[in-house]
Amino acid sequence: MWGNALKIARIRGFDIKVDASWFLIAALIVWSLATAYFPTELPGAYTTTLVASAVVAMLGLFASLILHELAHAEVAGHFGLRISGITLFLFGGVAEMQSEPASGISEFWIAIAGPVASLCLALAFWFSAEIAEVTRSPAPAIMVLNYLAWINLLLAIFNLLPAFPMDGGRVLRAWLWTRSGNLLAATRRATTISAIFAYGFMCLGLIAAFSGAMATGLWPILIGLFLLVTSRTALAQLETKTALDRRTVAELMTRQPWTAHPDQTLSDLVNRVFLEHGISFVPVVENGTLLGYVDLQIVRKIDRENWTTTTVDDVIESVDAGNTVPPQLAGLDLLSLVMKTGRRKFIVADQNELLGVITLSDVLAYLNVFREVAVPTS
């Protein structure tokens, strides 16, 4: 998701990265502050003063967002989770954790740390603004400090909305998780509640757009879509991880699959195996020894009129590390192999002995059943 993020710094071992979309937001913030918000606060000020104040305010917001994410990262580190980096993007920031929290308690503290940091920043900026006022500091400085106090307060409140995977949604999930002891059931509940917020945001956006405020209406719609996509992705990832955890290829594969003989002609293979049993991938075995495989793609490369004269042996794809997996391979590792190589069908073998065949469809079929029955819905 953050493929085009630019690395700008390294703080306490974390890479701080900025996604291209954040530059757009930074420009929008400077523009709206300099042309709309600050001119009403400082009537009669020079344009250069307004633009300079807007840039300083934007940088202050930038630093505030990073401190918010650093707070998450620090607490996560305290609970032994590794953080690979912090990325700022369109909707704020994200601390990339390399694994999920181990308990509801740790998830609660990691999630709440960000809004608490924003709240502390709001107080600090408010206090600084008060001091600046008492010491009669320049008006633009007081204005920027006040703006940063308000924006951090808003950030804290907005992030505390119980819409998973925002901070408040994670706090909610932590509570549900601690109460039920079931992370997957808690995530499902939190995702459903998040969807209600997402549709609510989108409705508000549509109402605003139809009443003429097109640009204002766009934001809630985007936030709603973002919530829907991120919460569902997080849920799907967790379902996959839970379902395939401790499952091996041997448990998920098709045992005793149909096989082909090297002397078989392609027309015989197509009619007696592919069409007869509705399959498109078969291991080739001779006298109990696994030689390789043939599939529909290989056969289709041969002209149909040559199918009666071509044998399986002529087109066989030999066994190698790329198309064969051991039975003890973890289900999750198989899935990452599929993602990495794009290959969807594998032979399962021990030395040269054929044990079975495993396809992406086998894994997905299992995931579907798991989703339907393995988790209580409340």
Catalytic residue among 69, 133, 251, 353: 69
Nearer CB in complex with Zn ion: 114/257: 114
Closest distance to Zn ion from the beta carbon of 375 (Å): 27
Q: Which stretch binds Zn ion (CB under 5 A): 110-118, 216-224, 247-255, 270-278?
A: 110-118
CB of 117 to Zn ion, least distance (A): 8
DSSP string, 251-298: HHSEES---B-TT-BHHHHIIIIIIHHT-SEEEEEETTEEEEEEEHHH
CB of 260 to Zn ion, least distance (A): 56
* Torsion-angle region of 342 (φ positive above 0: left; ψ -120 to 50: alpha; else: beta): left
19 binds Zn ion (CB under 5 A): no
Among 14, 33, 108, 167, binds Zn ion (CB under 5 A): 167
Stretch that binds Zn ion, among 162-170, 221-229, 310-318, 334-342 (CB under 5 A): 162-170
In whole angstroms, what is the distance from residue 190 CA to residue 176 CA?
8
Residue with the two structure tokens 């006040």:
146
Which residues lie closer than 8 Å to 276 by C-beta, 6 or more apart?
none
Using CB under 5 A, which of the segments 82-90, 159-167, 185-193, 311-319 binds Zn ion?
159-167
Structure tokens at 29: 């913030």
Is 100 among the catalytic positions?
no
Backbone φ and ψ for 152, nearest 5 degrees, come out as -70, -35
Stretch that binds Zn ion, among 1-9, 102-110, 150-158, 167-175 (CB under 5 A): 167-175
Q: Residue 259 CB: number of other CB atoms within 10 A? A: 17
User: By C-beta, is 75 or 235 nearer to Zn ion?
Assistant: 75
CB nearer to Zn ion: pick between 125 and 293: 125
In the complex, which residue's CB is closest to Zn ion?
A: 114
Nearer to Zn ion, 159 or 240 (CB): 159
# of chain residues touching Zn ion (CB under 5 A): 3
Q: Give Cβ neighbours of residue 8 (< 8 Å, ≥ 6 apart).
A: 16, 17, 18
Q: How far is CA 300 from CA 133, 294, 359, in A?
A: 80, 11, 20
Report the run of H or E that residue 310 belongs to, with start and end.
none
CB nearer to Zn ion: pick between 25 and 54: 25
Which lies closer to Zn ion via its Cβ, residue 99 or residue 336? 99
Beta bridge partners of 354: 349
Q: Which of 60, 85, 104, 114 binds Zn ion (CB under 5 A)?
A: 114
Identify residues 295-324 at the interface with Zn ion (CB under 5 A): none
CB atoms within 10 A of CB 134: 8
Active-site residue numbers?
69
Residues at the interface with Zn ion (CB under 5 A): 114, 159, 167
